[in-house]
Structure 1
Amino acid sequence: MKTFLGSALDPAADKALMTVLTVSLCSANLLPVPLAALILGRDLFLVAGTAWYRYKSLPPPKTVKRYFDLALPSAEVRPPFISKLNTLLQLTLMSASVAAPVFGYVDGVALEALRWVVGATTIWSGAQYLFDPNVIKILPQKAK
């Protein structure tokens, strides 16, 4: 089942989870600061972009109440494949980073390679949102 509320809450939950994991692992020195900044920066960019598109596409009158009224969908985000792959790779990296001290591979080559791949897909995903016109679709407004 797909609902507008679910389509808004699912990415928000992903962002919250990734933020907590990234900050926690970076604080524990299990995730490099530049990579953590990249992951958090991309997510901040996506949240700010989504807020801007919501404001831009909301039909008048543009009030705070209407802005947060989920019964008034005004734009639809279609996450590209690279974004979904990036989320999978980020979660894989977070899991591997948590396990690294237990299994003694904190400085392992495979973990470092995964960090670089996550960095690359994070940049690619952010660029896709920024430059691909098919990712965000402004919905036609119904006549009142």
Structure 2
Amino acid sequence: MSFPLNIPNTITAVRFILTPIFVLFLIEGDFFSAFLVFIGAAVTDGLDGLIARLLKQKTTLGSYLDPIADKLMLSTAYIALAAIGIIPTWLAVVVISRDVLITMGALVVTIFKGTFMMRPSVISKATTVFQISTVILVLMAQFTDLSPTLPFVLSWLTTVFTTVSGLHYVYFGLKILNDNDGVAKG
């Protein structure tokens, strides 16, 4: 681990800054600008980790900030889009509920097992891609002639992947609670 104030952590910090800017554009009804800001935030989501690995600049701070920035970005996007009626409220509830479930599960595992490591699974990474893609397409539908069918189908796929991913984390959380090594792989 290296010094915490590095390029990857700075990129992660940009995601924190872009999130309220995204919401301001939504409130103003400027969907194109909100779309551009969200794309920028989504790019930082992959870029920070890639640069950390390539430059060997992984830090403990970054390992905490990155998932917090991800959850803040996506939770805020889904809450804001539901609040202005662009996505159904139930979709925002599913996305937020999964994050709450994961956070509470991590707290329970920490209380009973102490320090543990949960690596993101393929299903979890796919869920993030679906969640980000849904926001992007829903926003695009506001300023283009995009058929509403694609965002609708993607919303349902996001719901399925988010639910399965949440259940996957529950399974591995229970596995950690029942195992002795404190590591779950998935």
- What's the TM-score once normalised by structure 1's chain length? 0.77
Instruction: State the aligned residue count.
Output: 122
Correspondence for 1:110 among 132, 141, 150: 150
Q: CA RMSD in A?
A: 2.0
Q: How does 1:121-136 map to 2 (within 5 A)?
A: 121-132=161-172, 133=175
Aligned-partner residue type, residue 88 of structure 2: P
Aligned-partner residue type, residue 100 of structure 1: A
Partner of 2:159: 119
Q: Does 1:41 align with 2:81?
A: no
Q: Does 1:138 align with 2:182?
A: yes
Partner of 1:27: 83
Q: Does 1:16 align with 2:72?
A: yes
Q: How does 1:47-126 map to 2 (within 5 A)?
A: 47-58=103-114, 74-105=115-146, 108-126=148-166
Tell me by how many angstroms 1:104 deviates. Answer: 3.9
Rounded Cα–Cα distance in structure 2 between residues aligned with 1:56 and 1:12? 22
Instruction: Say which structure, 1 or 2, has more relative contact order (CA 8 Å, 6+ apart).
Output: 1
Q: Give identity over the alignment, percent.
A: 26
Unaligned runs of 5+ residues in structure 1 are 59-73, 140-144
Rounded Cα–Cα distance in structure 1 between residues aligned with 2:122 and 2:95? 17
Tell me by how many angstroms 1:96 deviates. Answer: 1.1
Tell me by how many angstroms 1:84 deviates. Answer: 0.6
Tell me by how many angstroms 1:55 deviates. Answer: 2.0
* Larger proportion of helix: 2
Q: Is the 2:102–2:170 Cα contact (8 Å) retained in structure 1?
A: no
**Segments ≥4 residues shifted beyond 6 Å:** none
Unaligned runs of 5+ residues in structure 2 are 1-56
Rounded Cα–Cα distance in structure 2 between residues aligned with 1:4 and 1:121? 28
Q: Could you report, residue by residue, the CA deviation over 1:12-67 in whole angstroms, capped at 9, with x for unpaired residues?
A: 11111111101110011111111111011101111111122222223xxxxxxxxx
Tell me by how many angstroms 1:90 deviates. Answer: 0.4
